[in-house]
Amino acid sequence: MEKLYLDNAATTPLAKEVVQELNKKISLFGNPSSRHVLGREAKIEIEKAREKIAKSINAKPEEIIFTSGATESNNLAIKGLAEANPTKKQIITSEIEHPSILEVCKNLGKRGYQIDKISVDSEGIINLKELKDKISKDALLVSVMHVNNEIGTIQPIEEIAKICKEKNVPFHTDAVQSFGKLKIDVQKIGINLLSASGHKLNALKGIGFLYVKRGMNIEPQLNGGGQENNLRSGTENVLGIISLAKAIELKRESEKVEKSRDKIINKLLEISGSKLNGSKEKRIYNNINISFYGIEGESLQMFLDEEGIFISTSSACASNKLAKSHVLKAIGIDKMYLNGSIRITLDTLKLLTTKQEDFIIKKIKENVEKLQKISPFKFQEDKK
Amino acid sequence: MKPTNTYSKEVIKHFTKPANQGEIKNPSAIGEIGNPVCGDVMKVYLKIAKNKSGKNYIKDIKFQTMGCAAAIATSSMITKLAKGKTIEEAKKITNAQVAESLKGLPPIKMHCSNLAADALKKAIENLEKKKK
ipTM value:
0.92
Measured between CA atoms, the residue of chain B closest to residue A292 is B66
8 Å CB contact of B66 and A296: yes
Measured between CA atoms, the residue of chain B closest to residue A297 is B68
Report the side by side order of strands in the sheet with B29-34. B29-34, B41-50, B56-66
Q: Could you say which of B41, B42, B68 has the minimum Cβ distance to residue A299?
A: B68
At residue B36, the pLDDT reads 79
Measured between CA atoms, the residue of chain B closest to residue A318 is B5
Q: What is the pLDDT of residues B19-52, one digit of tens each?
A: 999 999 999 999 999 887 777 899 999 999 999 9
Active site residue B112: yes
Question: How far is B86 from B28, CA to CA, in rounded Å?
Answer: 14
Q: Which residues contact B3 (CB under 8 A, 6 or more apart)?
A: none
Helix (H, G, I), strand (E, B) or coil at A53: helix
For chain B, how big is the Rg over CA atoms in Å? 15
Query: Is the pLDDT score of B78 beyond 60?
Result: yes
A285 neighbors A254 (Cβ within 8 angstroms): yes
Give chain B's domains with CATH numbers: 9-131 (3.90.1010.10)
What dihedral do alpha carbons B81, B32, A274, B16 form, nearest 10°? 0
pLDDT above 70 covers a percentage of chain B that reads: 95
B66 neighbors A376 (Cβ within 8 angstroms): yes
A291 sits in which H/E element: strand A287-292
User: Looking at the complex, does the CB of residue A323 fall below 8 Å from at least one CB of chain B?
Assistant: no
Query: Is the pLDDT score of B3 beyond 70?
Result: no
Q: pLDDT 10s digit of each residue in chain A, 384 long?
A: 899 999 999 999 999 999 999 999 999 999 999 999 999 999 999 999 999 999 999 999 999 999 999 999 999 999 999 999 999 999 999 999 999 999 999 999 999 999 999 999 999 999 999 999 999 999 999 999 999 999 999 999 999 999 999 999 999 999 999 999 999 999 999 999 999 999 999 999 999 999 999 999 999 999 999 999 999 999 999 999 999 999 999 999 999 999 999 999 999 999 999 999 999 999 999 999 999 999 999 999 999 999 999 999 874 444 444 568 999 999 999 989 998 999 999 999 999 999 999 999 999 999 999 999 999 999 975 454
Report the side by side order of strands in the sheet with A90-94. A64-67, A208-212, A193-197, A171-174, A139-143, A90-94, A114-118
At residue A18, the pLDDT reads 98
Question: How far is A76 from A82, CA to CA, in rounded Å?
Answer: 10
Give chain A's domains with CATH numbers: 16-247 (3.40.640.10), 252-382 (3.90.1150.10)
Query: Is the pLDDT score of B118 beyond 70?
Result: yes
Mean pLDDT, residues B100-119 taken together = 86
Question: How far is A73 from A104, CA to CA, in rounded Å?
Answer: 11
Phi, psi of B111 (to 5 degrees): -85, -50
A 268-307 residues with CB below 8 A of B? Answer: 294-296, 298-299, 302-303, 306
pLDDT band at B84 (very low <50, low <70, confident <90, very high): very high
8 Å CB contact of A316 and B38: yes
Query: Is the pLDDT score of B109 beyond 90?
Result: no
At residue A384, the pLDDT reads 46
User: Looking at the complex, does the CB of residue A335 fall below 8 Å from at least one CB of chain B?
Assistant: yes
8 Å CB contact of A299 and B108: no
Helix (H, G, I), strand (E, B) or coil at A91: strand
At residue B107, the pLDDT reads 82
For chain A, how big is the Rg over CA atoms in Å? 22
Q: DSSP readout, A367-378?
A: HHHHHHHHSS--
At residue A319, the pLDDT reads 46
At residue B131, the pLDDT reads 74
Q: DSSP readout, B45-95?
A: EEEEEE-TTS-EEEEEEEEEEES-HHHHHHHHHHHHHHTT-BHHHHHT--H
